[in-house]
Amino acid sequence: MDVSRRGFMAASSVSAMGLLAAATGINLMATDQAKAAATGKGSAATAAPEPLEDFIYDIEHGSQGWEGAGGTAKEATVEEFPVSQSIAGVLMMLKPGAFRELHWHSIAAEWAYVLEGRVRTTVISPDGTTSTDIFEVGDIWYFPKGHGHCLECLGDKSCKFILGFDSGHFSEFGTFSLTDWMGHLPPGLLARDLATGNLLSKLPARELYIGTGKIITDPMPANIDPHIAESYSSHKFRMETDGILQTYTGGFTRLVSSKEFPIQSTLTALRMDIKPGAMRELHWHPNADEWQYVISGEGNVGIFGSHGRVKTMSYSQGKVAFIKQGFGHYIENTGKETLKLVVLFNSPFYEEISLSTWLKANPPLLVAEHFGITAAEAKVLINAPHGIF
């Protein structure tokens, strides 16, 4: 194509003007964005953050649950307690002679703390080994996901325990139960598999869930096949006596992580007592959500979720709380008796950062400039208490 010098210069002039206009537009856009950032205006800054969700649920009185001749089961999953995405809880009571039938969980491991009475458990592991254990008040168990197990009330008094599962989407009423499976199999197939003839030919096509039987008098009977090897992995831990103890002026904690209880590979457990009028200091957990069950007492829990969002809720016996990973929080005993808590974290290891320790780990002038005080005044933080006080 033949392009004259005049035509070329004209085209170049137009192109240059276009580039200048584009550059000016980009410049103006950058300036506007800089102004918005400096003034706190703009879509990101003006978008209102979601309000903090309710983080307390009454599992004992607010859950309809299951009730039968052998006991009760009340749960708090994401259906009842939407904020608790990573941990579900079940409060279960078994009457003397009752048992939670042989079953397994496909999506969650099971943890428990015994609140009342005595419980006998049996469990089968994938390596073919088995274990039978007796649990008393303050003991905990942990059954990994998929391990078949059974829970029985031991003795002539009811037992009660709080169960924790490492998925908030788990439901106790959707487990894989022995009777549910066997009752829906062709009788001939079942007889062939177990070599039972007609013995199990008329099983009802329904789940037993919690059954009733004779009151247990022999705490450690022999299995049908006594030659099946015992498991080398302990499913039992005596939390109230063997947990890592930390004492404070206002209470104590007992910690059980996977370091102390190796099979507990997805959770960390904590028992906490807070004396009347005392508080658990301001802190957060960098690596885990926190789930609490109130054994007794009453108190307030306050949380901080960034963007100026704070919320305080009260709780008492039979209620659970859920605090998201990284959210700042505190606990305060507002009652006249000791506030007793069982706490779970969805990590095998425990991590915590407290506000007072964080502040004390910085130079006094830096801290002072955050709050408009003097460096000398900031040094008073050296006296801040720690833990529960």
List the catalytic residues: 100, 103, 105, 110, 149, 172
Bridge-based pairing of strands 118-124 and 148-154 is antiparallel
Query: What's the alpha-carbon Rg for the chain, to the nearest Å?
Result: 30
d(CA 316, CA 297): 6
Positive or negative, the CA dihedral 62, 64, 66, 69 is positive
Check: CB of residue 269 under 8 Å from CB of residue 258.
no
Return the H-helix or E-strand segment holding 28.
Answer: helix 5-39
d(CA 167, CA 250): 32
State the DSSP code for 374: -
Q: Strands of 339-345's sheet, edge to edge?
A: 56-58, 319-323, 290-296, 339-345, 268-274, 251-256, 244-248
Q: Strands of 66-68's sheet, edge to edge?
A: 66-68, 71-76, 88-94, 159-165, 110-116, 139-143, 236-238
d(CA 58, CA 319): 4
- The torsion angle over the Cα atoms of residues 309, 313, 318 and 320, rounded to 10 degrees, is 0
- Taking the alpha carbons at both ends of the chain, their separation in whole angstroms is 88
Return the H-helix or E-strand segment holding 309.
Answer: none
Nearest to 290 by CA among 272, 265, 314, 276: 272
Amino acid at 125: S
Chain centre distance of CA 332? 20
Check: CB of residue 66 under 8 Å from CB of residue 73.
yes
